[in-house]
Amino acid sequence: MTASVIYSNKLERLFEGLKQRLFPRGSSPFARRVVVVPSPAIRTWLQYRLADDTLGFGVAAGVEVLYLGQALRLFCPRIEAPTVADIALALEVEIRTLIDSGCSDPVWNPLFRHLRASPGEPITTLIHRRLITLTEQIGHLFRRYGEYGGVMLAGWESRTLASLGWQERLWRLLFTGEGAWDFPVRQLSDVQLQSIAGEGEWQLHLFAMSFLCRLHHHFFMQVSDTLPVTFYQLSPTLRYWADIRSDREAHRLLHRGERQGVSVVERDTAELLLEDRNRLLGNMGRLGREAAQLFDDYHMSEEEAYQYPRALLQYLEYKDLADEPDVHMDGSDLKPASLIHCIQGDLLAMRRIEDLGSLDLPLTDDSVQVHRCDSPLREVHALYDGLLALIDRHRQGNDPLTPRDIVVMAPDIADYAPYLRVVFGSEESQLDISIVDLPVRGQSRLITAFVGLLELSAGRWEASLVLELLSCDHLQNRFDFPAGTVVLVRRWVEEQGIRWGYDASHRRRILGSDRVSNPGHATWITGLTRLLEGEVSGDPTRGLGTDAETLGAVLAILKSLKEDLLPLECGRPLTVDQWSDYLQCLLDAYFCVDSEDSSEEMAASMLRRVIQRLRRGERPARPNLDEALFSFATIRRHLMSALDAETSAFHDSHIQAVRCCSMLPMRAIPARVIWLLGMGESDYPRQDLMQSLDQLRGSSDCDYYPSRVDYDRYLFLETMLSTRDYLRCSYSAAMSDGVDQGPSLVLQELLDYSDTGYSLGGNTPSDILLVKHPYRQHAPQYFSDESSLKGYSKRSYMLTRQSLGPLREPYSLITRWCDPSCAFDPGENSKIIDLSLLNGMARHPIRSYLQRTLGIYLRETEHWECDDSETFSLSPLEHGLLRKQAFHQPVEEVIAQADQCGLLPAGAFREVAVQRLIHDVEVWKGILRKLGIDGACLYDIELRRDCMGPNWVNEHHLQLPAIKVEANDCHYTIVGALPDCINRGMLVHAKGDSADVARLWPQALILGLLDLTGQSGGDIFLTKSGNIFPVCIETPGKELVKWLGYYERALTGPSPLLPEWTAPIIAGDAAALEKVMAGANSRWAQIKDPVLDWLFLGEGGPDAEKIVSEWHDAANNLLGAPFQWWLGKK
């Protein structure tokens, strides 16, 4: 048997060769045909082509498509290499033993210094965290050593222990001696494959493996002694290119020659030889050159199947390709060759571009473009518009472009997934997308919730995290939550002030017992227990009714969680098998996946598989790990790493979708259009980590090991080969630190290469190929006939039309004020109006109009988000309620009750809040004494429709009949509450300025209609200033009718009678009103009005002159009397 290799620069040509060799004439139908592929992307592409093309049958049966690891285990079943997690766990055991034993050998000092550990001293939490991180890093390195180490590892095993460094000694501890693990260099160096020869006919095909390390290459060459092995190698050039070098390598060789004293003639000769290459091949193709060298070393039989576009023969520079015997033409010569085809031709012939004249291509050639954008979102906007432009261009031709012909890649597609979903998932999008390589942790609700459950043990039990966990549908399925449970729990959290902490002991452990006076403050158990106490108290106002059962279920779940998470919280170490069983039990106990949810079912299976792989029985055993105990911090790190390695996919609803994926090694999928996102100079090529620890770097005793930069550069070279029509690259110029960045170095080299060898209509290519996008999507350039940029967003088009149209007045939701003099129709014969609605209209008529008429409720604060932060002060509302409560009972009791309810801040801030409350209570009591009022006599009046006469519910609650008024053929019934009343009137926390007059007028009218003193009216006592507003209204009913008419009109259209605006309107002073408006909307205003700020967008408010002219008389008619009585103003 022999091994052979087929070279081609087109994946499709390699597939044709594979198809011919899979089913040759005379082959057995029962032959075992094994095809090894490098990546899932290539596997999917190959299986699709096999099913479509295999011998015309349209099936791919009888062909096993495997990955490299699967193929190695197929031919060498005894391969049992440890995983990174295995190595890391074993390293942790060995290093902990060194520290615990007080090892004094100085060779370990660098390791101890890195960990900041002292031999013989206890291992602290910080040292343990550094140890977990370090062992995982070394685990990755040891895996590489096992494949690429070669002679270096043999030297480590043969040298004396005293001559080895700390890393070499750790290797010896794990991979030599009794019970040591084996590694690939040792396992695959000499493999016996006689058993395969007697199992019938075999075929082995290695398809599009851009690079195999020397160890694996040697292994498959050994396999070729037993059965036929064929390599299908994607090669950019038909020339021998294993001896060319990059610019950096050439400079290094010449510099080394200078140090060794070579002559000038020899140096010049070497320089000429090093420069005799294609620059792109030299700088981007090291990975391919090393692979070509391996094939050359084994003297394999070779076959070449290169291909180039026929249109290249239009140019004299490419005529010699027609004379090559193994190069085939493709396509029609009627279509002109594009820049990307010319570059592929240069690579194929390994043409030195500097020796040729500048080839002039049409100015319209846009086969290669680099798009500069200002953000990742703008990159995706450019992607969407660019793809539609290309599809539109080919819509009428003989070669229509479909979404399946397009591949979008990014260094990490997860970084662009949110933007892709937003842009391509919008209602106006004409394209669908399919995204693969997404981390499963961010895509599965089950895994997100399971990780969140594990985080509770080391966290603070924040209200938001617990609510998020309870919101998981899989947890709700397990415990049969009724609909609306989470909404109810969220309401309880807000009512009880639950912020973080399971119970008092949990908060004390986190904060320290000497730092908090009330450790149970704002915890889950304290808050929910208060609800439970209210239920059993017998007080109907505190009862839960049918919600009591839900409360019990939630309490049971929280207590169960606390108990079940104790092994994690207390830090008890367990064996790896015990941790695996424990995590599996947690998953089964708290989550139940709906069988109809296929994606979550797959996620659940994957999660179980990852947990199961933690078990020692799944991999080669090692004595020191079977009974070793590990903390959950260690297990968690390896569990998260295993989950991060798993990926999922996002698919839209259509088969014809644009494919999006990450830029991973050996993923040269051919496509008519390839668009690379995220190609900034800081993003690509990506850099290797752990270089300082890597013994392979710079070692001459190991095989060639490709760096991340080598992989990325060659991936870009393969991307150019895989592009059939258009190559698009984009990058975000703005970095997170505000500094602009340029395109990736590979893009800069491509642009420089194009400038050297080509011109576009006589212009420098980089001036044409580099496309700069405007900052905004709705820029006019996208919709101009003179611009090459085309926009396909209808929304952006409408915004552009508006911006380019005639100048318009700024848009405002309020286009007119209600007419103060027009007649109004109540619409009903009778109405019931709550006093709070009248007061709301007086305090802010615009907000009342938005809410009552338009149904618009502005979220002035983000109260819909659960607040996990610690409170440092009482809110104004809480402070006012406690102050009022202190009028009826001693302030000490009020503070104790507030403390019990979790209202007071924790720690030193509690004392500040308490002292402020005590001070304000004393100030208020002083004001009340000055007014001659006993605070203990305060009571609330409730106007009720079902009340027939005065009814004292208790000494602080008086019920009175509702007030009935007839106006405009409508019977109005006024109900609601009037707080803080006394027999002489009512208390109001106000100063008594003009704004307060406008706010208080409806309450004064109601007070005037009540008989509190034995006669109509009473007084309004202003507690901020100590002043008194006497309520001596001759006809309060008549004034209330006027106010009800204003109320009805203000619901048909917004009223400008805001309390702060009323005085200038009554005075007819437009200049004063303008000043008030400007001050309220100023960015420097101490108290901003969020409603006005939202309505007028900081533009200074509406026309003051118009308001004064329209509303001066109406304002005087409505509020002129109280202004004159209380302020002496006319």
Cα gap 169→167, rounded to integer Å: 5
Give the 3-state secondary structure of residue 440: helix
Quote the pLDDT of residue 622.
Answer: 62
Assess contact for 446 and 591: CB atoms under 8 A: yes
Collect all residues with Cβ–Cβ distance below 8 Å to 771 and sequence separation of at least 6. Answer: 369, 370, 371, 372, 788, 789
Treating both helix axes as pointing N-terminal to C-terminal, what angle do 214-223 and 68-75 enclose, rounded to 10 degrees? 50
pLDDT for position 1086: 46
**Single-letter amino acid code for the residue at 638:** H
pLDDT of residue 449: 92
Structure tokens given for 940: 């609330």
Residue 927 is which amino acid?
Answer: I
Q: What is the mean pLDDT of the chain?
A: 84
The least confident of 278-282, 338-342, 897-901 is 897-901
Residue range 714-728: average pLDDT? Answer: 94
Q: What is the pLDDT of residues 571-603, one digit of tens each?
A: 889 999 899 999 999 999 999 988 888 888 888
Whole-prediction pTM value? 0.79
User: Are 771 and 371 contacting, i.e. CB atoms less than 8 angstroms apart?
Assistant: yes
Q: Which amino acid is at 78?
A: R
982-1020: b (≥16 Cβ within 10 Å) or e: bebbbbbebebbbbbbbbbbbbbbbbbbbebeeebbbbb
Phi-psi region of 497 (alpha: psi -120 to 50; beta: other; left: phi over 0): left
C-alpha–C-alpha distance, residues 108 and 748, integer Å:
45
Closest CA to 713 of 758, 663, 755, 756: 663
Q: Which residue do the tokens 């190991």 mark?
A: 702
Higher pLDDT, 842 or 617: 842
Tell me how far apart the alpha carbons of residues 168 and 152 are, in angstroms, rounded to a whole number. Answer: 10
Other CB atoms within 10 A of residue 929 CB: 11
Question: Alpha-carbon distance 317 to 303, whole Å?
Answer: 26
Measured between alpha carbons, how far is 235 from 241 in angstroms, rounded to an integer?
A: 10
Tell me the average pLDDT across 711-736.
91
| Lowest-pLDDT range of 162-166, 174-178, 790-794 | 174-178
Tell me the C-alpha distance between 888 and 956, whole Å: 9
Whole-angstrom Cα distance, residue 1078 to residue 711?
Answer: 61
Nearest of 660, 676, 658, 755 to residue 715 by alpha carbon: 676
What's the DSSP call for residue 515? Answer: S
DSSP labels for 617-645? GGS---HHHHS--B-HHHHHHHHHHHHHH
Check whether 496 has a pLDDT greater than 70: yes
Segment among 76-85, 193-202, 540-549 with least mean pLDDT: 193-202
Q: If one looks up domain 1-76+193-234 in CATH, what number appears?
A: 3.40.50.10930
Q: What is the pLDDT of residue 40?
A: 85
Q: CB neighbours of 334 closer than 8 A, spacing ≥ 6? A: 311
**Lowest mean per-residue pLDDT among 169-173, 332-336, 836-840, 1022-1026:** 332-336
The identity of residue 212, as a single letter, is: L
Structure-model confidence comparison of residues 1005 and 256, the more confident one: 1005
| CA distances for 930 relative to 599, 697, 996, 1026, angstroms | 72, 86, 21, 7
CATH architecture assigned to 364-440+651-687+706-801: 3-Layer(aba) Sandwich (3.40)
**Rounded Cα–Cα distance for residues 864 and 852 (Å):** 21
Query: Between 1103 and 170, whose confidence is greater?
Result: 170
* Cis check: omega of the bond before 685, within 30 degrees of 0: yes
Task: Check residue 73 and give its pLDDT.
Answer: 85
What distance in Å separates the CA atoms of residue 464 and residue 868, rounded to the nearest whole number? 7
What's the CATH fold of domain 442-650? Answer: PCRA; domain 4 (1.10.486)
What's residue 205's pLDDT? 94
Query: What number is the average pLDDT over the span 408-430?
Result: 92
**pLDDT tens digits, residue range 254-269?**
877 878 777 777 777 7
| 519 or 834, greater pLDDT | 834
Q: Write the CB contacts of 751 (distance below 8 Å, at least 6 apart in sequence).
A: 370, 743, 765, 766, 769, 770
Among the ranges given (248-252, 937-941, 1044-1048), the one the predictor scored with the smallest mean pLDDT: 248-252
Q: Cα dihedral angle (779, 784, 790, 795), rounded to 10 degrees?
A: 50
pLDDT at 181: 83
> Confidence class of residue 1097 from pLDDT cuts 50, 70 and 90?
low
**What is the per-residue pLDDT for 982?**
86
Burial status of residue 692 (CB atoms within 10 A of its CB: 0-12, 13-18, 19 or more): exposed
Mean pLDDT across 143-158: 88
**Collapsed DSSP state (helix, strand, coil) of residue 898:** helix
Residue 1006 DSSP SS3: helix
Share of the chain above pLDDT 90, in %: 33
The token pair at 321 is 């390709």
Task: Reduce the secondary structure of 851-894 to three states and give it as a string.
Answer: HHCCCCCCCCCCCCCCCCCCCCCCCHHHHHHHHHHCCCCCHHHH
Q: Report the relative pairing of strands 970-982 and 939-944 from DSSP bridges.
A: antiparallel
What is the structure's pLDDT at 975? 94
pLDDT above 70 covers a percentage of the chain that reads 89
CB within 8 Å of 37: residues ≥ 6 apart: 43, 46, 65, 66, 67, 207, 208, 209
Mean pLDDT of 632-653: 80
Contacts of residue 1053, Cβ cutoff 8 Å, sequence gap at least 6: 816, 817, 818, 819, 849
Which among 725, 723, 724, 743 is positioned nearest to 733, based on CA atoms?
743
pLDDT tens readout for residues 349-405: 888 888 777 888 999 999 999 999 999 999 999 999 999 999 999 888 788 999 999
Query: 107 near 160, Cβ under 8 Å?
Result: no
Structure tokens at 1041: 């009718």
User: What is the pLDDT, as a whole number, of residue 247?
Assistant: 83
Q: Is 973 helix (H, G, I), strand (E, B) or coil?
A: strand
Q: How many contiguous H segments (helices) and E segments (strands) does the chain have?
A: 45, 27
Within a 10 A sphere around the Cβ of 630, how many other Cβ atoms? 20
330-339, 457-466, 827-836, 838-847: which range is least confident on average?
330-339
Task: Summarize the confidence of residues 941-948 as an average pLDDT.
Answer: 92
**Lowest model confidence (mean pLDDT) among 780-784, 887-891, 990-994:** 887-891
> For position 860, what pLDDT does the model report?
53
- In which band, very low, low, confident or very high, does the pLDDT at 868 lie, cut at 50, 70 and 90? low
Tokens coding 227 = 């059965």
Amino acid at 539: D
Q: In this structure, how many other beta carbons lie within 10 angstroms of the beta carbon of residue 531?
A: 19
Phi, psi of 872 (to 5 degrees): -115, -5
Q: What is the pLDDT of residues 65-114, one digit of tens each?
A: 999 988 888 888 777 778 889 899 999 999 999 999 988 889 999 999 99
Q: What is the pLDDT of residue 370?
A: 96
C-alpha separations of 119 from 88, 144, 246 in Å = 20, 29, 48
CB 1098 within 8 A of CB 1083: yes
